[in-house]
Amino acid sequence: MAKLKIHYYPDKVLARRAEPVTVFGPELEKLSKDMLETMEAHEGVGLAAPQVGVSKRLLVLHEPDGETMCLVNPVIEESEGREYGEEGCLSLPQMYARVARATHIKVRAQDVLGTPFEFEAFDFLARIIQHECDHLEGVVFPDRLDVFTREEVLEQYEIVRRRLTKGARQRV
């Protein structure tokens, strides 16, 4: 079982702008499969490479009613509409907040072999992609909140994080 370690906020890798992927092929395919397994194991719907400590422009996702996708060097070319919806993040366990996102986006990306493709995404799928693309820019969802909600979420998160760290120590 090739499960990767999730990096938690405020790990520095989450605040860094990820590098473009320039090498395609089996290694990238393996990383994307490991990321998918890791995401499924944590019951996530999306995971970006920086969240597993790899500062590369790569993300995987699995919309509950849709198929699994892997996007390499994704670019959101156009976005329309705006809607608030609840979001969480595997790098900020147990934190949720309502975040405003575009409801319709056009995306350009490559697959693990470097083949370019384009598609449109709506609603929840569009939300997942915007959240994961933010990770590639070093942005996490609390950064998208108003300052008061952000403070509240990060305060709560501190409590959760202390508990997580303590748990990890006890397991050693």
Residues in contact with Zn ion, counted by CB under 5 A, come to a total of: 1
Q: Is 132 a catalytic residue?
A: yes
Q: Given the complex with Zn ion, which of 89 and 121 has the nearer CB atom? A: 89
Tokens of 167: 């748990």
* Site membership for Zn ion, residue 128 (CB under 5 A): no
Contacts (Cβ under 8 Å, ≥6 apart) of 63: 45, 124, 125, 128
CB 92 → Zn ion: shortest distance, Å? Answer: 7
CB 15 → Zn ion: shortest distance, Å? Answer: 13
Residues 131-160 that bind Zn ion (CB under 5 A): none
Question: CA 97, 127, 21, 70 torsion: positive or negative?
Answer: positive
Applying CB under 5 A, which part among 19-27, 82-90, 94-102, 160-168 lies near Zn ion? 82-90
For residue 122, what is the enclosing H or E element?
A: strand 116-122
| Among candidate residues 74, 90, 79, 81, the one with its CA nearest the CA of residue 41 | 90
Pick the catalytic residue from 78, 118, 132, 151. 132
* Site membership for Zn ion, residue 14 (CB under 5 A): no
* Site membership for Zn ion, residue 89 (CB under 5 A): yes
Contacts (Cβ under 8 Å, ≥6 apart) of 74: 57, 59, 107, 108, 109, 129, 132, 133, 136
* Site membership for Zn ion, residue 49 (CB under 5 A): no
* Site membership for Zn ion, residue 102 (CB under 5 A): no
Matching residue, tokens 């409801």: 103
- For the annotated catalytic residues, the residue numbers are 132
Residues at the interface with Zn ion (CB under 5 A): 89
